[in-house]
């Protein structure tokens, strides 16, 4: 069995990296295509 | 299975409820995009998947229980759409280097910054059920219980998948050995699809295959 201790620092690095990968997308401005889609849903609701 | 409650009495939704639904759905879009990007790698395909998810969520809005987590609810829809599309061979685990390459992880004092692109590529080589488990818990911040609900499996299964995913990523990154499993290797691609069949069937047998 691998000793977890050895990998702890690296683990922390990629765990942070994983979160950053996710957050970097979350923080992107919403593309216009989504704004259009969401506003179309609105139109549908009004029908 | 609890998903087909077509005859269940659904409460009437007020205009306020509908507006709240729309607002919550809009708020969750960035998270859906991040989850989808982690799952399928390519931003354009990920965004297609999110659009599909939004349309399905909108169509099914009466099934959403106000006050519960919109993020968890829509992640289930996204995940199901992803599994269906993946089995139709739509996603091949392609990866867009440009997106992640510009970001480096360089913690203070760290000599060898880990490239997010490497991390993302490594992530994409994981079996899908481990990848999604790690994304939900490690990136999306869901609890094991929430992730288990999203993936329709036991909490212990999620814990095991996350543990295996972490071990695999640690080992790949430590050894600098990130296999190109998902992109050019037809046998690997077939293996992924077989695993997906298991995941979709709720058998979860893929756990022991690697």
pLDDT, residue B164, reads 94
B56 lies in some domain: yes
Write the DSSP symbol of residue B109.
T
pLDDT-derived band at B173 (thresholds 50, 70, 90) equals confident
The structure's pTM equals 0.73
Residues B53, B74 contacting (CB under 8 angstroms): yes
A24 and B116 within 8 Å at the Cβ level: the answer is yes
Exposure on the CB side of residue B47, measured as CA atoms within 13 A: 13
B20 lies in some domain: yes
B54 and A37 within 8 Å at the Cβ level: the answer is yes
Write the DSSP symbol of residue B104.
E
Q: Quick one: B78 and B129 in the same domain?
A: no
**Closest alpha carbon to B120 in B207, B210, B37:** B37
pLDDT-derived band at B192 (thresholds 50, 70, 90) equals low
Q: Counting Cβ atoms within 10 Å, is residue B206 exposed (0-12), middle (13-18) or buried (19+)?
A: buried
Count of the separate structural domains present in chain B: 2
pLDDT, residue B73, reads 97
pLDDT, residue B66, reads 87
pLDDT-derived band at A18 (thresholds 50, 70, 90) equals confident
Residue B98 has pLDDT above 50, yes or no: no
Residue A5 has pLDDT above 60, yes or no: no
Percent pLDDT > 70 in chain B is 66
Residues B84-109 have a mean pLDDT of 53
Domain extent, residue B158, equals 108-203
Residues B129-156 have a mean pLDDT of 95
Q: Quick one: B82 and B117 in the same domain?
A: no
pLDDT, residue B2, reads 46
CATH number of B45's domain: 1.10.1740.10
pLDDT-derived band at B125 (thresholds 50, 70, 90) equals confident
The chain-wide mean pLDDT, for chain B, equals: 77
Q: Quick one: B160 and B192 in the same domain?
A: yes
Q: How far is CA B38 from CA B17, B74, B198, in A?
A: 31, 15, 20
Q: Quick one: B66 and B126 in the same domain?
A: no
pLDDT, residue B117, reads 76
B120 or B187, higher pLDDT: B120
Residues in A closer than 8 angstroms to B173, CB to CB, are 10, 13-14
A27 and B30 within 8 Å at the Cβ level: the answer is yes
Q: How crowded is residue B155: how many other Cβ atoms within 10 Å of its Cβ? A: 14
What is the ipTM for the molecules in this complex? 0.78
Q: Quick one: B138 and B185 in the same domain?
A: yes
Q: What span, in angstroms and rounded, lies between the C-alpha atoms of B154 and B65? A: 22
Residues B45-59 have a mean pLDDT of 94
Residue A4 has pLDDT above 90, yes or no: no
- Give the H or E element holding residue B141: none
B209 lies in some domain: no
**CA B153, chain centre distance (Å):** 14
Residues in B closer than 8 angstroms to A10, CB to CB, are 114, 170, 173-174
Residue B12 has pLDDT above 80, yes or no: no
Interface mutation vs chain A, best among B17, B39, B45, B58, most A CBs within 10 Å: B58
- Residues of chain A with a CB closer than 8 angstroms to some CB in chain B: 2, 7, 10-11, 13-28, 30-31, 33-34, 37-38, 41-42, 44-45
Domain end residue (candidates: B56, B87, B118)? B87
- Residues of chain B with a CB closer than 8 angstroms to some CB in chain A: 18, 22, 25-26, 29-31, 33-35, 37-38, 47, 50-51, 54-55, 58, 100, 103, 105, 107, 110, 114, 116, 119-120, 123, 134-135, 138-140, 166-167, 169-171, 173-174
């Amino acid at each position: 069995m691998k000793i977890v201790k050895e990998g702890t620092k690296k683990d922390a690095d990629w765990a942070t990296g994983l979160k950053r990968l996710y957050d970097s997308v979350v923080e992107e401005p919403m593309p216009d295509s989504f704004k259009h889609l969401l506003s179309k849903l609105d139109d549908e609701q009004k029908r | 299975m609890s998903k087909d409650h077509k005859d269940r009495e659904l409460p009437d939704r007020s205009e306020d409820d509908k507006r709240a639904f729309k607002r919550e759905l809009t708020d969750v879009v960035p998270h859906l995009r991040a989850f989808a990007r982690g799952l399928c790698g390519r931003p354009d395909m990920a965004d297609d998947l999110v659009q599909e998810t939004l349309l399905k969520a909108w169509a099914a809005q009466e099934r959403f229980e106000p006050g519960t987590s919109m993020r968890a609810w829509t992640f289930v829809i996204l995940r199901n759409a992803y599994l269906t599309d993946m089995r139709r061979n739509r996603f091949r685990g392609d990866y867009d280097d440009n997106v992640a390459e510009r970001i480096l992880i360089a913690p203070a004092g760290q000599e060898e910054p880990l490239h997010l692109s490497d991390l993302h590529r490594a992530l994409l080589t994981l079996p899908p059920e481990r990848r999604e488990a790690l994304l939900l818990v490690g990136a999306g911040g869901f609890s094991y219980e929430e992730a288990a609900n999203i993936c329709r499996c036991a909490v212990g299964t999620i814990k095991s998948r996350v543990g295996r995913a972490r071990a695999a990523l640690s080992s790949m990154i430590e050894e600098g050995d990130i296999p190109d499993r998902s992109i050019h290797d037809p046998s690997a691609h077939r293996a992924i699809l077989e695993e997906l069949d298991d995941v979709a069937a709720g058998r979860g047998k893929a756990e022991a295959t690697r």
